A and B are shown apart, each in its own frame.
Chain A
Amino acid sequence: MIDLAWLVVAIPLASSALLLLLGRRSDAWGHLLATLAAVASFVVGLLVVLEVLGQSPEERINDVHLFSWIPAGELSIDAGLRVDPLSLTFVMLITFVGSLIHVYSIGYMTHDPARRRFFAYLNLFVAAMLVLVLADSYALLFVGWEGVGLASYLLIGFWNHNTDYAVAAKKAFVMNRVGDMGLIVAMGLMFASLGTVSFSGVDAAASGLSTPMATAIGLLLLLGACGKSAQFPLQAWLGDAMAGPTPVSALIHAATMVTAGVYLIVRADSIFSAAPTAQLVTACVGAFTLLLGAAIACGKDDIKKSLAGSTMSQIGYMVLAAGLGPIGYAYAIFHLVTHGFFKAGLFLGAGSVMHANGDSTDMRTYGGLRKVMLVTWATFAVCWLAIIGVPPFAGFYSKDKIIETAFVGEGWQPWVFGGAALVGAAVTAFYMSRMFFMTFHGKARWVDEASKLGADDPRPRRHPHESPLVMTLPVVVLAIGAVSLGFLLSLGDGITGWLEPVTGHVDHPEPVLPVPVILTATLVLVAAGVALAWRQYGMNTVPLTAPAGSPLTRAARRDFFADDVNEALAMRPGQHLTRTLVYADTAVVDGAVTGAAAGTVASGRVLRKLQNGYVRSYAAMILAGVVIAGAVLHLVRL
């Protein structure tokens, strides 16, 4: 079965190609085929997992050679699959959550005329993401990396008749290019210094790298990871990416694609282990982004953008854990998996809420929705408890491990990283509770369409209703995962044992604070965050329009001026540069070209006169040619 692992990728890819090529002819059944393809991919993946589980732990890293891909002299790259516990964890996450989101989309996109195209892109994304995680070399990983970037671009801009959405897609794409450049240059350095870009080759030779080179490669890989995973300083695209249909936000911009950066860092363990500085920078980026994202999430009234900030923050946790080195890898992946479930659940829940509220995303026009959307409320509640880390929900198991690990170490680092993780947990509890209470509790800040009220009532008219089964069912499944996954994956060796062949065996040293103290502090802070949110948004009335707020709130609403910084530092200088270049191109380059062309034509006009049609002058030309050539050759010889 392992040899057939390529089917995992091939099935959704073929389905995507089929749907795009058949065009409208497949409108009627396209969504069903795409969903079936995702499920089939999951089934194949599951069979591979079962077979790998049958192997002894040492044998679980399987390299499947597919074909010789780029045989170019010294650079010879084979396309192959790395089937090991790490990649299979991702395969399971991608195909399982992906399948659920396909099912959900059947309901969500019912009325969209381009539904078939949407599913084709979704399949394309799944295939590309699977290439990314199954690749056995950085080069093939890069193919998947670009593939998911493309799919992300196509899906963010799916409703590109809306200019803002098209701009958001472009923004995401351009910012991702910055990270991609990092990955490309990192590959170039690997080839220059190690002569290979395959995982096995790099892993074997990385210990021989000089520290500056390893640091350079590590930082460039981190740049790539930051672009894809929306980490500081390349985080600004994620909020705008919420322009895409909500299932897309759930699958790509919460559960899978944005976690690719974490995957890359864990996969590049051999590089980062040889570059402590790069590792430290990684941890710092993670710690900073987890606070930044949480703060942004607090400031947003748009439910999806708030969730986007939360995603940024949660991935910050994972990057922090990955930056801590081998002791953190398994927990980073653990949190990645549980996060995939509860965040997808939250997004799909948000999608249900939006669906019920005429596609409005403004939480200030929600309120009191529990009564009309009981299933959505219940699943959202479960995922909410999971993300804020209340035992025994999934997030508690995974996040708590990261917080504990962050407190491991010497010097200032455990205190800074651990402190950031603790504060982050409190803020997470606050903003998630704020979202939950603002949406489902308190007084309704909308009016039912049927009721008769004065025209001067500022409240929007809505008709909230529970979503159909095809949409609630996937959310319920995700919620079950959000409840149980943390516990299940901690049984016995759990996920750490499963990942050990990849992440290596590590002893877990004691944190600088005793574990019970950390645990208690976390829970107390979480409780405080929830209480604060309840006081402000559960008990009190939420105003329909946002109050002015503190400077911090205003800054958070504007993503801490990330766009302004990017525009000032990159966009405007870039525009000036391009304008200058365009000017130089027209004046200098085009001038030279047109000048040369004009000169050519002019000389042609002159030379043309020699072609006068008289045989005598033609013969004279021949004779002159011979005589001159003969004379010159003769003179040269003398």
Chain B
Amino acid sequence: MTTFQPPVIDWAALTPVLVIVGAGVLGVLVAAFAPAARRRSIQVVVALLAPLAALGAVAWRWSEVVGGGESTFVAGQLAEDGFGLAAQMILLVIALVGFAVLASRLPGGEDAFTPQGASAPGSAYEEAARKAGLEQTEVYPLALFSLAGMLVFTMANDLLVLFVALEVLSLPLYVLTALARRRRVLSQEAALKYFLLGAFSSAIFLFGVALLFGYSASLTYADIGTAATASVGMDGMAVVGLLMVLTGLLFKVGAVPFHAWVPDVYQGAPTPVTGFMAAATKTAAFAAIARLLYVAAPGFAWDVEPALWVVAIASMLVGTVLAIVQTDIKRTLAYSSVAHAGFALVAIVSLPEGGPDALLFYLLAYSFATVGAFAVVTLVRERDDAGNVTGEATHLSQWAGLGRRSPVLAAAMALFLLSFAGIPLTAGFLGKFTAFVAAADGGAWPLVAVAVLASIAAAFFYVRVIVLMFFTRPEESDEPQRQRAQAVAPGALTRVALVVCAAGTLVLGVWPTPVLDLLAQAARFVV
């Protein structure tokens, strides 16, 4: 019998996570005890200050760690290294702008969430809650908990920790998805689908964990990696296990064929949640995939690479092709995000030659554009006969001529779309460029060729929206019976978020050197 060794916990390294978790707990207390009138404002302040504080903590850890101070702790289950810190930094930036959009309200004072999640859609109870001006301020702690899960995701060095973090980030998102103020049935359906499929993929993930444990008798990446080099004749089990673990993660990033939930959930979820979820979940899950492949799986890289190639190619093609035939802006962006998962996988496949900095830059560029684009979607609204602002105008034909009515907003949207398309002088171009160059250096030429072709085809549906906004008169659009969209004036928070996203997209596109240098420093995993 070996005596129990309490693991060494490096509390300093956990500061960023602790700040966010603490803020989440604080948020729950506020939701429970703060007076209703001031509840929301306190929540917003907490939700915005927490990522800011965590960002400071990450910067501090960065100065301590990068360049020699990397380590694993809690018995090798968590890793603190440049890669993880860089991913956390990106996540916290996304969280800042994402939460700002999340907290925004329309000029009429309504926010993006249902006044009472427990009410049945269309019931008298719901109507009473609306009249009473209730607000579901639990969304802020939920978002913070999800963020905490994502932060752990980037530093998880152990399959069980990875699983716990996966659930911590997913469960709040299921709930948030169900809380849309309008089209509530669609929202709840989306949440249920997301939950069911998420549970299903988690099960596959766990099955994979079991197989890997059976193979290496350990759950930490380092041990699995060591076992892979000391061949024990059960490689088949390990490869299938790894594939199943990857399936769970690829489900989160929405790669084909694990993408089916993406359009339905992105469409049904409250748009601010969609923006945050699309950017942050993808970033966190890709960080986890990169660490898994780098640290645990180099011995099997050869075996799983074909699968990753197929998934990457399928994601790019299916995402692009289906985005072309969409008529709903949120679904278009959802399929575009599927295609982007494929592009990011191109950067992953180049591991380890290409290095993870290309991946991180790609994710940063994609995140700015995603949060920004969905923020614009929250502002483009229909109006009822009395002129009151109603739901979001998500049908593409409604966007016709938006550029004439709201030139600045449409220009910002155009910028984000161009960044998605990868047009030079936007962040998206350099993101794609660095990712493809990394992949080409790694010898993945066919993959790069497909990626470039898919980018060309993808430009079609991005530019189509720009053409609709700027060069189409509303009366020329196909479906005149639809009401055309009016943009509402963004609130201060959304305005800040949009400016940050647009500036980030431009600066990373025009003068990316500082960020690239920073990420190049971070391109190290601790084993």
Pair A622/B240 contact, Cβ less than 8 Å: no
Query: A106 vs B197: C-alpha distance in the bound complex, in angstroms?
Result: 81
B260 at the binding interface (Cβ < 8 Å): yes
Smallest beta-carbon distance A4→chain B, Å: 33
Query: A622 vs B239: C-alpha distance in the bound complex, in angstroms?
Result: 18
Smallest beta-carbon distance B360→chain A, Å: 26
Interface-located stretch among B42-50, B111-119, B319-327, B362-370? B319-327
Pair A630/B243 contact, Cβ less than 8 Å: yes
User: Contact check: which of B196, B239, B318 meets A634 at CB < 8 Å?
Assistant: B239
Q: Which residues of A contact B258 (CB under 8 A)?
A: 621-622, 625
Pair A618/B243 contact, Cβ less than 8 Å: no
Q: CB-nearest residue of chain A relative to B303?
A: A633
Q: Given the known A-B contacts A600-B321, A607-B322, A629-B310, are A619 and B243 also in contact in the complex, defined by CB atoms under 8 Å?
A: no
Pair A621/B257 contact, Cβ less than 8 Å: yes
Q: Which residues of B contact A619 (CB under 8 A)?
A: 196-197, 200
Pair A625/B193 contact, Cβ less than 8 Å: no
Pair A618/B304 contact, Cβ less than 8 Å: no
Taking CB atoms and an 8 Å cut-off, the chain B residues in 324-338 that contact chain A are 324-325
Q: Which residues of B contact A604 (CB under 8 A)?
A: 321-322, 324-325
Q: Which residues of B contact A596 (CB under 8 A)?
A: 457
A540 at the binding interface (Cβ < 8 Å): no
User: Contact check: which of B251, B307, B318 meets A629 at CB < 8 Å?
Assistant: B307
Q: CB-nearest residue of chain B relative to A630?
A: B240
A601 at the binding interface (Cβ < 8 Å): yes
Query: A609 vs B204: C-alpha distance in the bound complex, in angstroms?
Result: 25
Pair B240/A607 contact, Cβ less than 8 Å: no
B424 at the binding interface (Cβ < 8 Å): no
Q: Given the known A-B contacts A618-B261, A622-B197, A625-B247, are A633 and B321 also in contact in the complex, defined by CB atoms under 8 Å?
A: no
Smallest beta-carbon distance A628→chain B, Å: 9
User: Contact check: which of B303, B310, B321, B460 meets A607 at CB < 8 Å?
Assistant: B321
Q: Which residues of A contact B247 (CB under 8 A)?
A: 622, 625-626
Query: A607 vs B267: C-alpha distance in the bound complex, in angstroms?
Result: 18
Pair B260/A610 contact, Cβ less than 8 Å: yes
Pair A601/B239 contact, Cβ less than 8 Å: no
User: Contact check: which of A603, A615, A622, A634 meets B257 at CB < 8 Å?
Assistant: A622
Query: A613 vs B264: C-alpha distance in the bound complex, in angstroms?
Result: 7
Query: A149 vs B258: C-alpha distance in the bound complex, in angstroms?
Result: 60
Taking CB atoms and an 8 Å cut-off, the chain A residues in 577-627 that contact chain B are 596-597, 600-601, 603-605, 607-608, 610-611, 613, 615, 617-619, 621-622, 624-626
* Chain B 182-207 per-residue mask, 1 if CB under 8 angstroms from chain A, else 0: 00000000001100110011001000
B126 at the binding interface (Cβ < 8 Å): no
Smallest beta-carbon distance B221→chain A, Å: 20
Query: A587 vs B201: C-alpha distance in the bound complex, in angstroms?
Result: 48
Query: A228 vs B258: C-alpha distance in the bound complex, in angstroms?
Result: 65
User: Contact check: which of A605, A607, A633 meets B304 at CB < 8 Å?
Assistant: A633
Q: Given the known A-B contacts A618-B193, A625-B247, are A637 and B457 also in contact in the complex, defined by CB atoms under 8 Å?
A: no
* Chain B 242-269 per-residue mask, 1 if CB under 8 angstroms from chain A, else 0: 0110010001000001101101100000
Q: Which residues of A contact B457 (CB under 8 A)?
A: 596, 600
A636 at the binding interface (Cβ < 8 Å): yes
Query: A621 vs B259: C-alpha distance in the bound complex, in angstroms?
Result: 9
Taking CB atoms and an 8 Å cut-off, the chain B residues in 51-71 that contact chain A are none
Pair B322/A625 contact, Cβ less than 8 Å: no
Query: A94 vs B325: C-alpha distance in the bound complex, in angstroms?
Result: 63
Pair B325/A597 contact, Cβ less than 8 Å: no
B306 at the binding interface (Cβ < 8 Å): yes
Query: A622 vs B247: C-alpha distance in the bound complex, in angstroms?
Result: 8
* Chain A 390-411 per-residue mask, 1 if CB under 8 angstroms from chain B, else 0: 0000000000000000000000
B223 at the binding interface (Cβ < 8 Å): no
Taking CB atoms and an 8 Å cut-off, the chain B residues in 290-322 that contact chain A are 303-304, 306-307, 310, 318, 320-322
User: Contact check: which of A611, A613, A624, A633 meets B307 at CB < 8 Å?
Assistant: A633
Q: Which residues of A contact B197 (CB under 8 A)?
A: 615, 618-619, 622
Query: A608 vs B324: C-alpha distance in the bound complex, in angstroms?
Result: 11
Q: How large is the interface on A (under 10, 10 to 19, 20 to 34, 35 or more residues)?
A: 20 to 34
Pair B200/A608 contact, Cβ less than 8 Å: no
Smallest beta-carbon distance A593→chain B, Å: 10
B138 at the binding interface (Cβ < 8 Å): no
Q: Given the known A-B contacts A629-B243, A633-B243, A634-B240, are A611 and B321 also in contact in the complex, defined by CB atoms under 8 Å?
A: no
Q: Which residues of A contact B196 (CB under 8 A)?
A: 615, 619
User: Contact check: which of A600, A618, A636 meets B324 at CB < 8 Å?
Assistant: A600
User: Contact check: which of A601, A613, A630, A637 meets B244 at CB < 8 Å?
Assistant: A630
* Chain A 317-339 per-residue mask, 1 if CB under 8 angstroms from chain B, else 0: 00000000000000000000000
B167 at the binding interface (Cβ < 8 Å): no
Pair A626/B243 contact, Cβ less than 8 Å: yes
Q: Given the known A-B contacts A619-B197, A633-B303, A637-B235, are A625 and B257 also in contact in the complex, defined by CB atoms under 8 Å?
A: yes
B133 at the binding interface (Cβ < 8 Å): no
Smallest beta-carbon distance A630→chain B, Å: 5
Q: CB-nearest residue of chain A relative to B314?
A: A625
Q: Which residues of B contact A615 (CB under 8 A)?
A: 192-193, 196-197
Smallest beta-carbon distance A9→chain B, Å: 29
Q: Which residues of A contact B480 (CB under 8 A)?
A: none
Pair A622/B304 contact, Cβ less than 8 Å: no
Q: CB-nearest residue of chain B relative to A625?
A: B257
Pair B460/A597 contact, Cβ less than 8 Å: yes
Query: A187 vs B346: C-alpha distance in the bound complex, in angstroms?
Result: 40
B214 at the binding interface (Cβ < 8 Å): no
Query: A619 vs B198: C-alpha distance in the bound complex, in angstroms?
Result: 10
Interface centre among B261, B321, B457 (most CB of A within 10 A): B321
Smallest beta-carbon distance B2→chain A, Å: 36
Smallest beta-carbon distance B155→chain A, Å: 27
Pair B325/A608 contact, Cβ less than 8 Å: yes
Pair A603/B321 contact, Cβ less than 8 Å: yes
Q: CB-nearest residue of chain A relative to B192?
A: A615
Query: A633 vs B300: C-alpha distance in the bound complex, in angstroms?
Result: 11
Q: Which residues of A contact B407 (CB under 8 A)?
A: none
Q: Which residues of B contact A624 (CB under 8 A)?
A: 257
Q: Which residues of A contact B322 (CB under 8 A)?
A: 604, 607-608, 611
Q: CB-nearest residue of chain B relative to A597?
A: B460
Query: A611 vs B304: C-alpha distance in the bound complex, in angstroms?
Result: 27
B236 at the binding interface (Cβ < 8 Å): yes
User: Contact check: which of A611, A617, A637 meets B263 at CB < 8 Å?
Assistant: A611
Q: Which residues of B contact A611 (CB under 8 A)?
A: 260, 263-264, 322
Interface centre among B196, B235, B239, B257 (most CB of A within 10 A): B257
Q: CB-nearest residue of chain A relative to B325?
A: A604
Query: A613 vs B197: C-alpha distance in the bound complex, in angstroms?
Result: 12
Q: CB-nearest residue of chain A relative to B263?
A: A611
Q: Which residues of B contact A636 (CB under 8 A)?
A: 303, 306
Q: Which residues of A contact B260 (CB under 8 A)?
A: 610-611, 617-618, 621-622
Smallest beta-carbon distance B371→chain A, Å: 25
Pair B318/A607 contact, Cβ less than 8 Å: yes
Query: A637 vs B307: C-alpha distance in the bound complex, in angstroms?
Result: 13
Query: A421 vs B458: C-alpha distance in the bound complex, in angstroms?
Result: 67
Q: CB-nearest residue of chain B relative to A606?
A: B321
Q: CB-nearest residue of chain A relative to B250?
A: A625
User: Contact check: which of B201, B236, B264, B324 meets A622 at CB < 8 Å?
Assistant: B201
* Chain B 447-478 per-residue mask, 1 if CB under 8 angstroms from chain A, else 0: 00000000001001000000000000000000
Query: A607 vs B251: C-alpha distance in the bound complex, in angstroms?
Result: 19
Residue pairs across A and B with Cβ atoms less than 8 A apart, 12 shown, are A600-B321, A601-B324, A607-B318, A608-B322, A615-B196, A618-B193, A618-B197, A619-B200, A621-B260, A622-B204, A622-B251, A626-B247
- Seed contacts A615-B192, A630-B244; 11 additional CB < 8 Å A-B pairs: A597-B460, A600-B321, A601-B324, A607-B321, A608-B322, A618-B197, A626-B204, A632-B307, A633-B240, A633-B243, A634-B239
Which B residues lie at the A interface, using CB under 8 A?
192-193, 196-197, 200-201, 204, 235-236, 239-240, 243-244, 247, 251, 257-258, 260-261, 263-264, 303-304, 306-307, 310, 318, 320-322, 324-325, 457, 460
- Sort A-B residue pairs by CB-CB distance and give the 8 closest, nearest first: A618-B260, A604-B325, A625-B257, A604-B321, A629-B307, A630-B240, A615-B193, A621-B257
